[in-house]
Amino acid sequence: MNRKVLIAGLVLVAPLVAVLLIGLGRDPRVVRSPLVGREAPPFTLRPVGGGAPVSLASLRGKPVVVNFWATWCLPCIEEHAVLVSGARAWEGQAHFLGVVYQDGEETIADFLRRRGSAYPTLFDEGGKTAIAFGVYGVPETFFIGPDGVVADKFMGPLDDAALSASLRKALERAP
Amino acid sequence: MRRRLAVVLALALWPWAAALRGEEPAPAAPDPRALVGAPRGALLAGAALDAETKRVAGLLRCPVCQGLSVADSPVGMAVDMREQVRDMVAAGYDEEQVLAYFEKSYGEFVRLEPPLRGVNWIVWAGPLAALLAGAAIVARVLRAPRAKAQAEGGPAGAPPAADALPDDPELARYVLRVRELAYGWPGGTPGAPAPGDGEAGR
């Protein structure tokens, strides 16, 4: 009888323990995006502060860094400097785009005037582009290969190392 | 007058015409058609649109407030998602197309009810299977003593006779001694007359 109870207990508990162990081995910050490995949703958005609308399709041939952000998000503000210096360092090799997430156009324009920018920041009316990219919260950054396919996604504020690592992944994709 | 009208018209149409000539693309969010095909349902408007939007948004999980549907959540993201659902429903996309569109970007997690496919069968069938297994165990446990008693040919759980003794001779000796002391039975057996009974009767 004791043996039976032991076996039954193991049958019930072993799968649970296995699931928990698999979960423990994962980085909780990494949320797998169904978009990675798929073509990036095409968009044409107008830049904050005026100018011609920018379409993702027109940037093919080089990797594109698409960063969703807002001024009310503190990590985004910390990350801004990393992205601006990254855009300058990778100039000619990759395109950088900011996409405003749930923020006022005037607030964003004001922020960019004060802190400077090195790439276009686009206004996403109704958050439709953020939805198409499956954005959970800002900051979130997508790395699109020269072929238009999403090579990597990064959640949270980027640092120089993470930016370079993900950009190299995007560069690996042939145009 | 006619000339003035032409100038006004040309100015009004200028951005659009420029967009057509490819100089300046018109702003456009991603088109669901590319992912889920042409709308399969009818165009909706008015009260029917409101009701269908609420129903379909109720099937989507708000990604930043896990327990709530997009229809019930007050956060900005859910507001945007509701508006996206509304636009798609108005354009004639059916429930499955709307859910599929969100699933393409957020993954299956965005559906509040996991669809019946693959590993999800466990989610649906698991509780029922566990309930049936539990019922089977309870039934077996309840039936076991009765079946055992029936096999032995006596009523289940009958108490042993008052003068029954344990099998262990050592223990049996102590039981007899206790009975002798407690009840006054000589040798611990009830058959023999107790000492002093005859004198008390006289």
A45 contact residues in B (CB cutoff 8 A): 27, 29
Nearest chain A residue to B24, by CA = A52
Question: At residue B197, what are phi and psi to the nearest 5 degrees?
Answer: -65, -45
The contact set of B with A (CB < 8 A) is: 23-31, 34-35, 63-64, 76-77, 80-81, 83-84, 102-107
Nearest chain A residue to B81, by CA = A131
Q: What is the pLDDT along chain B (202 residues), one digit of tens a residue?
A: 566 655 555 545 554 554 445 556 788 888 899 889 999 999 999 999 999 999 999 999 998 886 899 999 999 999 999 999 999 999 999 999 999 999 999 998 899 888 877 777 887 788 899 999 999 999 999 888 776 766 665 555 555 666 788 888 899 899 889 988 888 888 888 765 555 554 444 4
User: Which residue among B23, B25, B80 places its CB closest to the CB of A131?
Assistant: B80
- pLDDT for B4 equals 61
Best interface-test mutation with B: which of A5, A7, A128 has the largest number of B CBs within 10 A? A128
- pLDDT for B157 equals 52
- pLDDT for A167 equals 95
B102 contact residues in A (CB cutoff 8 A): 131
Best interface-test mutation with A: which of B106, B109, B123 has the largest number of A CBs within 10 A? B106
Nearest chain A residue to B107, by CA = A34
Residue B37's CB is within 10 A of a number of other CB atoms, namely 11
**Which class for B91: exposed (0-12), middle (13-18), buried (19 or more C-beta within 10 A)?**
middle
3-state helix, strand, coil in chain A (%, to 5): 45, 20, 40
B28 contact residues in A (CB cutoff 8 A): 43-44, 55
- pLDDT for B49 equals 95
Domains of chain A, each with CATH number or no CATH:
34-172 (3.40.30.10)
Residue A88's CB is within 10 A of a number of other CB atoms, namely 11
The owner of tokens 């607030």 is A107
B34 contact residues in A (CB cutoff 8 A): 41-42
- pLDDT for A139 equals 94
**Which of the residues in chain A have pLDDT under 50?**
none
Domains of chain B, each with CATH number or no CATH:
7-110 (1.10.8.640), 165-189 (no CATH)
Closest approach of B176 to chain A, Cα-based (Å): 35
B62 contact residues in A (CB cutoff 8 A): none
Closest approach of B200 to chain A, Cα-based (Å): 57
Tens of pLDDT along B140-199?
Answer: 998 887 767 666 655 555 556 667 888 888 998 998 899 888 888 888 887 655 555 544
A125 contact residues in B (CB cutoff 8 A): 27, 29
Helical spans, DSSP H, in chain B: 2-20, 33-36, 46-57, 76-90, 95-106, 120-152, 169-183, 197-201
Cβ atoms of B98 and B70 within 8 Å: the answer is: no
Return the bridge partners of A68, or none: A99, A140
- pLDDT for A175 equals 76
User: Which residue among B26, B83, B105 places its CB closest to the CB of A132?
Assistant: B105
- A49 sits in the region (left: phi over 0; alpha: psi -120 to 50; else beta) called left
Nearest chain B residue to A12, by CA = B130
Residue A150, helix vs strand vs coil: strand
Q: Do B83 and A126 touch (CB under 8 A)?
A: yes
**How many Cα neighbours within 13 Å face the side chain of A110?**
8
A44 contact residues in B (CB cutoff 8 A): 25-28
Task: Report the 3 state secondary structure along B39-76.
Answer: CCCCCCCHHHHHHHHHHHHCCEECCCCCCCECCCCCCH
Please give the model's pTM, rounded to 2 decimal places.
0.70
Q: What is the DSSP letter of B202?
A: -
Instruction: Give Cα B139 to chain centroid, integer Å.
Output: 24
Return the bridge partners of A65, or none: A96, A143
User: Which residue among A46, A55, A134 places its CB closest to the CB of B105?
Assistant: A134
- pLDDT for B200 equals 44
- Dihedral angle of Cα B37, B41, B44, B47, to the nearest 10 degrees: -130
- pLDDT for B190 equals 75
